[in-house]
Structure 1
Amino acid sequence: MMETALRIDGVDKFYGPVDYGVHAVKKLTMDVKKGEIIALLGSSGCGKTSTLRMIAGFEAVSRGQISLGGRPVHMLAPVKRNVAMAFEGYSLYPPLTVKENMAFALKAAKLSNAEVEEKVAYIAKLLEIEDILGRYPSSISGGQQQRASLGRALIRNADLHLLDEPMGQLEPQLRAVLRGRIKHYIKERGLTAILVTHDQTEANALADRIAVMEGGVLQQFDTPEMIKERPANLFTGTFVGEPPMNVFSASVTTSGESVSFGLGDGVKLDYPASAFAPEVRAALGKRNRVTIGIRPYAVRRADDGVAAKVAVNQWLGDQTHIAADFAGATMVLVEHDRVSLTPGETIRIHLAPKSLHVFDAETGVAISHGDQLA
Structure 2
Amino acid sequence: MATLDLDDISKIYPGSRDRAVDHVSMKIEDGEIIALLGSSGCGKTSTLRMVAGFESVTEGTVKLGDRIVNNLKPAERNIAMAFEGYALYPPLKVRDNIAFSLLRDRTPRAEIDKRVGEISDMLELGPMMERYPPGLSGGQQQRVSLARALIRKAAIYLLDEPMSQLEPQLRALLRARIKDHLIANKMTTVIVTHDQTEAIALADRIAVMDNGLLQQFGTPEDLRERPSNLFVASFIGEPPMNLFSAEVAGGVLQVFDNEGAAAFTLPLRQGALPPGSRVMIGMRPHKLRVSEDLAGATLRGRVVTNHWLGDHSHVGVQVGGCFLIAVAGRHVVAPVGAEVGIIAPEDAVHVFDVANGQAIRHGLHDQATAA
- Asked whether the two chains share a fold, i.e. TM above 0.5, the reply is yes
Aligned residue for 1:315?
Answer: 308
Alignment of 1:196-275 (within 5 A): 196-253=192-249, 258-264=251-257, 265-273=261-269
Write out per-residue CA displacement over residues 143-199 of structure 1, whole angstroms, 9 at most, x where no aligned residue.
100000000000000000000010000011111110111011111111100000111
Structure 1 residue aligned with 2:281, among 279, 292, 304? 292
| Percentage of identical aligned residues | 49
| SS of residue paired to 1:312 | strand
Q: Is the 8 A contact 2:150 2:157 kept in 1?
A: yes
Deviation at 1:60, TM superposition (A): 1.1
Distance 1:287 1:77, change over 3 A: farther
The amino acid across from 1:121 in the alignment is G
TM-score by length of 1: 0.93
Is 1:301 paired with 2:282? no
Residue 5 of structure 1 corresponds to 3
| Change in CA separation of 1:71 and 1:327 when aligned onto 2, cut-off 3 Å | farther
- Gap change, CA 1:270 and 1:135, over 3 Å in 2: closer
d(CA) in 2 for partners of 1:235, 1:145: 35
2:319 matched residue in structure 1: 326
Contact 1:251 1:290 in 2 (8 A): yes
Residues 11-26 of structure 1 aligned to structure 2 (within 5 Å): 11-17=9-15, 20-26=16-22
Distance 2:162 2:266 in 1: 47
Asked if structure 1 preserves the Cα contact closer than 8 Å seen for 2:205 and 2:220, the reply is yes
Q: What residue is the counterpart of 1:115 in the other structure?
A: 111
Q: CA deviation at 1:286?
A: 6.6
Cα distance in 2 between the residues matched to 1:6 and 1:266: 50
Q: Distance in 2 between matches of 1:267 and 1:186?
A: 49
Letter in 1 for 2:13: Y
8 Å CA contact 2:245–2:256 kept in 1: the answer is yes
Q: Which residue does the alignment assign to 2:175?
A: 179
Which residue among 323, 332, 340 is the counterpart of 2:333? 340
* Partner SS, residue 12 of structure 1: strand
User: Once the 2 structures are TM-superposed, how far is the Cα of residue 287 of structure 1 from its aligned partner?
Assistant: 5.4
Choose which of 52, 55, 63 in structure 2 pairs with 1:56: 52
Are the equivalent residues in 1 in contact too, given 2:9–2:23 (CA < 8 A)? yes
Q: Distance in 2 between matches of 1:224 and 1:261?
A: 31
Distance in 1, matches of 2:255 and 2:286, equals 22
Q: Which amino acid aligns with 2:6?
A: I
- How far has the Cα of 1:329 moved from its partner? 3.0
- 2:31 paired with 1:35: yes
Change (3 A) 1:320 1:124: same
Which residue of 113, 126, 131 maps to 2:122?
A: 126
2:40 counterpart SS class:
coil
Contact 1:359 1:366 in 2 (8 A): yes
Give unpaired runs (5+ residues) of structure 2: none
Stretch moving more, 264-273 or 332-341: 264-273
Deviation at 1:22, TM superposition (A): 3.2
> Residue 2 of structure 2 contacts residue 31 of structure 2 at CA under 8 Å; is this kept in 1?
no
2:91 paired with 1:102: no
Is the 1:165–1:196 Cα contact (8 Å) retained in structure 2? yes
**Secondary structure of the structure 2 residue equivalent to 1:173:** helix
Aligned to 1:43, the other structure's residue is in SS state coil
> What SS is found at the alignment partner of 2:111?
helix
Amino acid of the structure 1 residue aligned with 2:68: P
Q: Which moved more, 1:189-198 or 1:299-308?
A: 299-308
Amino acid at match of 1:8: L
Aligned residues: 360
Q: What RMSD over aligned residues (CA atoms) do the two structures have, in Å?
A: 1.6
Residue 59 of structure 1 deviates from its aligned partner by 1.0
Instruction: Check the 8 A contact 2:263/2:322 in 1, yes or no.
Output: no
Shift of 1:328: 2.4
